[in-house]
């Protein structure tokens, strides 16, 4: 078994009467894409938010490369290497693609409080940002404002910002959401290559993408992980078929 990079250990979270996370344990290993699937309201977003730092779990720990990061906030976890992307793009819409990515480099390397010099001046800051922009195939759009990018372009840009953080792990909330067929095909290829840079934990509804990309799948139902395994194991799992896939596969 390869090395665990990011792990949730015994995570529980309750909102009043709703048990959103029930003793969830999950790990993300080097080189893998780990998909988190489950019906609406299963608690996927709540789990992602606890891993990224926006929500604090009632019980349990989040561990990044052996270090307990449960007490740290979103910004600190991002600096340590948890790169998150959002279901609805969170970008600086008035800024250019390159400016958005420079922000990621600033976060990773520090220097966001430097008040002199041009943020976009030639140098290692910009080089790294341009490299990340090129990696996601947005070089031609580098000086385009985020608001003028297509939906797919914004998705790519979010990934470029995440890449600029030099992350230990990607945590992605529905990267395929709202993309057309060709758009999601392109993004599937991009995501597939990312696992070599850092493992990817992603929530995704697009089952074609999940089955094409995932090395392992975890199935979350009512705040509980009912199964974790390879694509074939999950397809064959009867509990999963009953609880979730059953509706689509027409068992």
Partner 1 sequence: MKRAWVANVALICMLPVVAIWASMADEPFIITLATKVAILALAGVGLNMALGQGGLVSLGHAAFFGIGGYAMGILASHAQSYTPLLEWPMLIEGSNSMPVIWLLALVSSGLAALVIGALSLRTNGVYFIMITLAFGQMFYYFSISWPAYGGEDGLAIYMRNGFPGLNTLVPLHFFGLAFAVLLVALALATLIGRSPFGLALNAARQSSERVETAGIRPYRLQLTVFVLSGMVTGLAGALFADLNRFVSPSMFSWQTSGEIMVFVILGGVARLCGPLAGAALFILLEQLLGGISDYWHIFLGALLLLIILFARGGVMGLIAGPGERAHV
Identify the CA nearest to 48 among candidates 162, 174, 188.
Answer: 174
Distance CA 187, CA 190 (A): 5
Q: Is 91 in the site for partner 1 (CB under 8 A)?
A: yes
Residue in 79, 205, 235, 241 binding partner 1, rule: CB under 8 A: 79
Q: Is 175 in the site for partner 1 (CB under 8 A)?
A: no
Tokens for 170, please give them: 């990607």
Q: Is 71 in the site for partner 1 (CB under 8 A)?
A: no
Give the shortest CB-205-to-partner 1 separation in angstroms. 21
Number of H helices, E strands in the chain: 10, 10
Residue in 33, 51, 102, 200 binding partner 1, rule: CB under 8 A: 102
Closest to partner 1 by CB, 42 vs 164, is 164
Q: Is 131 in the site for partner 1 (CB under 8 A)?
A: no
Closest to partner 1 by CB, 9 vs 120, is 120
Q: Is 74 in the site for partner 1 (CB under 8 A)?
A: yes
Q: Is 70 in the site for partner 1 (CB under 8 A)?
A: no
CA–chain centroid gap for 156, Å, is 12
Are 21 and 13 in contact, with CB atoms under 8 Å apart? yes
Q: Positive or negative CA dihedral for 103, 88, 54, 216? A: negative
Beta strand extents in 112-231 (DSSP E only): 169-173, 200-203, 216-221, 224-229
Binding site for partner 1 (CB under 8 A): 52, 73-76, 78-79, 83-84, 86, 90-96, 99-100, 102-104, 106-108, 111-120, 125, 145, 161, 164-165
């Amino acid at each position: 078994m390869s090395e665990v990079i990011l792990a949730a250990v015994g995570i529980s979270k309750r909102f009043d009467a709703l048990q959103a996370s029930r003793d969830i344990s999950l790990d993300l290993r080097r080189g893998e894409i780990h998909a988190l699937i489950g019906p609406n309201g299963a608690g996927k977003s709540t789990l992602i938010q606890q891993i990224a730092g926006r929500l604090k779990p009632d019980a349990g720990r989040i561990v990044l490369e052996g270090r307990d990061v449960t007490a740290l906030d979103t910004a600190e976890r991002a600096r340590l290497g948890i790169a998150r992307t959002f279901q609805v793009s969170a970008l600086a819409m008035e800024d250019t693609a390159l400016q958005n990515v420079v922000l990621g480099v600033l976060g990773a390397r520090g220097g966001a409080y430097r008040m002199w010099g041009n943020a976009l001046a030639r140098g290692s800051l910009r080089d790294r940002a341009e490299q990340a922009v090129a990696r996601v195939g947005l070089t031609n759009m580098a000086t385009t404002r985020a608001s003028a990018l297509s939906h797919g372009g914004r998705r790519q840009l979010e990934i470029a910002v995440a890449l600029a953080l030099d992350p230990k792990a990607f945590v992605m909330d529905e990267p395929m959401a709202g993309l057309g067929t060709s758009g999601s095909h392109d993004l599937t290829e991009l995501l597939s290559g990312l696992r070599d840079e850092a493992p990817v934990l992603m929530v995704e509804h697009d089952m074609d993408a999940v089955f094409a990309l995932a090395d392992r799948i975890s199935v979350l139902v009512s705040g509980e992980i009912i199964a974790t395994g390879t694509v074939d194991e999950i397809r064959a799992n009867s509990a999963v078929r009953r609880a979730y896939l059953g509706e689509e596969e027409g068992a």
